[in-house]
Amino acid sequence: MTSTPFETTALDASAIPFDNSYARLPPQFFARQAPSAATAPRLIKLNEALAEELGLNVEALKREGAAIFSGNLVPAGADPLAMAYAGHQFGQFVPQLGDGRAILLGEVVDRNGKRRDIQLKGAGQTPFSRRGDGRAALGPVLREYIVSEAMHALGVPTTRALAAVTTGQPVYREDILPGAVFTRVAASHIRVGTFQFFAARGDDEGIRTLADYVIDRHYPELKGSDAPYLALYRAVSERQAALIARWLQIGFIHGVMNTDNMTISGETIDFGPCAFVDTYHAGTVFSSIDQNGRYAYANQPAIGQWNLARLGETLLPLIDADVDRAVEAANAVIKDYGERFQHHWLAGMRRKIGLANTEEDDLDLVQALLALMQDGEADFTLAFRRLSGTMEAGMDEEGFAASFKDPAALSPWLDRWRERLSRDPQATLQRKAAMRRVNPAFIPRNHRIEQAIQAAVEDDDFSLFEALLRVLAKPYEDQPEFEPYTRPPQPAERVLQTFCGT
Ligand code: AMP
Ligand code: MG
């Protein structure tokens, strides 16, 4: 289906009940920008459950989705714009980045009363495109669709996938690739880099306006507090500490934790060269552009802290008129982040090994297991899932130990663990259920994503993409019919590097 650009119809007026607030902020916050037309848009996927949750008209979107989600038809009530932001990319500050290939159509208030952004990614150039074409290739669009929905099903705060369309136009990267547009839903797209944009310009009023907007939208409980901006800083740090702990617990590597890719809402955003660890190693890096391992698996908590320090710098003028006092207060937050991260991480790791109460030695017990996994080249996901399996009748530990290169090396740890479990209050069946709720059977394994992308790009075959979405929607259930999806890659299937969407 093709449509001429920017037409609006009576029908789509009800498709998306927009209620835009970002567009009412001062003009330096964004550039108004309509999407560019696509020649032959085709709706690949509509997330109907999410559309329902957002209060959208699903029937209208099924009919008009190709036109709307390609950017050809700007629905009534949309106020398309590209957001301004800056950011540290691999430690280097870039004072102006902004949405170079993303256009915010507008916001809706969902069925739970939460305001959500609807954004097109890949719908053409904006004033922030620099030398980029403003377009996206099908592969990265499918990757973001799969991984963001998998993260959601795993229970990790994340932006969501509402739709994927192909444009019918080629995009030129190293190869010529089919073009696509991804429709992203987010609590908001405000980043650490959004604050940095105003700080870099010495625009204290802009920072205050942004901070007030963020408190209203994401942290309303802080309104009227004595020191709202310091409280905001603390609240953002707390959400990031909790988020990054969740990433580590499921083996997720974001890949590009630049400050422009860290949200203020606490959602995971920008699934570029992200990947999940298969064989566990704390130093794992996948991203082709992360030469020095800055964003390696186990570096993520420290990078989170580094990014939050950059956020703190932008908030100093709001925290206290006295610079020394402002710095001291912000430093306390940064220091607490380390403890909050450690708290969230250990709490989650305790649950992964089946503990409901706490003992001093638990950290050591967890670290000993991770060290064994690393030495024993165990598959992170499979090993924890099999550890849950040892709670089955018969208490079979062989399956678990078989995940390790040298199963016999596990014995002392298993003895120690059993002994620790004897002092934990949970009944065995209760523990088994609890462990299965935090140790997924299914994660979006890189080789499966690559296979799904390859079939779509080369053969216009979306069946693997669909199958993967189905499996990953229930990551904590056994789904015996999908057992092959639990398996790590064969040596030949292993994905060693992932690439950005650009
Ligand atoms: P990302 O790597 O997706 O976080 O993007 C970093 C910056 O590059 C953002 O400002 C993007 O908007 C911009 N960008 C990435 N790809 C493109 C593209 N194809 N065209 C224009 N801008 C882009
Ligand atoms: Mg980004």
pLDDT for position 396: 72
Tell me, in angstroms, the distance from the centre of ligand 2 to residue 470's CA.
27
Residue nearest to atom 11 of ligand 1 (CA): 100
Q: Where are the alpha helices (DSSP H) in 121-203?
A: 138-154, 192-200
Residue nearest to atom 21 of ligand 1 (CA): 132
pLDDT for position 469: 98
Q: Which ligand is nearest to the CA of 95?
A: 1
Instruction: Count Cβ atoms within 10 A of the Cβ of residue 281 and give its class: 0-12 exposed, 13-18 middle, 19 or more buried.
Output: middle
What mean pLDDT value characterizes the chain?
95
**Which atom of ligand 1 lies at the shortest distance from residue 97's CA?**
10
**Model confidence at 501, in pLDDT bands (50, 70, 90)?**
low
The pLDDT of residue 5 is above 70? no
The pLDDT of residue 4 is above 90? no
* Placement of tokens 């691999």 in the chain: 90
Residue nearest to atom 12 of ligand 1 (CA): 100
Residue nearest to atom 15 of ligand 1 (CA): 502
Query: Among residues of the chain, what percentage have pLDDT more than 70?
Result: 96
pLDDT for position 493: 86
Residue nearest to atom 8 of ligand 1 (CA): 100
Alpha-carbon gap, residue 267 to 319, rounded angstroms: 24
Assess contact for 264 and 236: CB atoms under 8 A. Answer: yes
The pLDDT of residue 393 is above 70? no
Q: Tens digits of per-residue pLDDT, 407-465?
A: 999 999 999 999 999 999 999 999 999 999 999 999 999 999 999 999 999 999 999 99
Tell me, in angstroms, the distance from the centre of ligand 1 to residue 122's CA.
10
Q: Which ligand is nearest to the CA of 182?
A: 1
Tell me, in angstroms, the distance from the centre of ligand 1 to residue 502's CA.
6
Catalytic residue list: 260
Neighbour tally for 476: CB within 10 Å: 17
Give the number of residues written for the chain: 502
Q: Which of 85, 99, 128, 129 is the best mutation target for the ligand 1 pocket, counting ligand atoms within 8 Å of the beta carbon and taking the most? A: 129
Q: Which of 99, 101, 144 is the best mutation target for the ligand 1 pocket, counting ligand atoms within 8 Å of the beta carbon and taking the most? A: 101
CA dist 113 to 23, 253, 349, Å?
19, 31, 33
Q: Which ligand is nearest to the CA of 127?
A: 1
The continuous run of DSSP H or E covering 291 comes out as none
Q: Tens digits of per-residue pLDDT, 245-257?
A: 999 999 999 999 9
Tell me, in angstroms, the distance from the centre of ligand 1 to residue 501's CA.
8
Query: Among residues of the chain, what percentage have pLDDT more than 90?
Result: 90
Dihedral sign from CA coordinates of 43, 47, 49, 52: negative
pTM of the model: 0.96
Tell me, in angstroms, the distance from the centre of ligand 2 to residue 425's CA.
45
Tell me, in angstroms, the distance from the centre of ligand 1 to residue 113's CA.
31
Measured from CB, residues less than 6 Å from any atom of ligand 1 are 97-101, 128-129, 132-135, 256, 260-261, 270, 272, 500-502
The pLDDT of residue 371 is above 70? yes
Q: Tens digits of per-residue pLDDT, 203-223?
A: 999 999 999 999 999 999 999
Of residues 489, 485, 465, the one with CA closest to residue 474 = 485
Q: Tens digits of per-residue pLDDT, 134-169?
A: 999 999 999 999 999 999 999 999 999 999 999 999
Residue nearest to atom 10 of ligand 1 (CA): 97
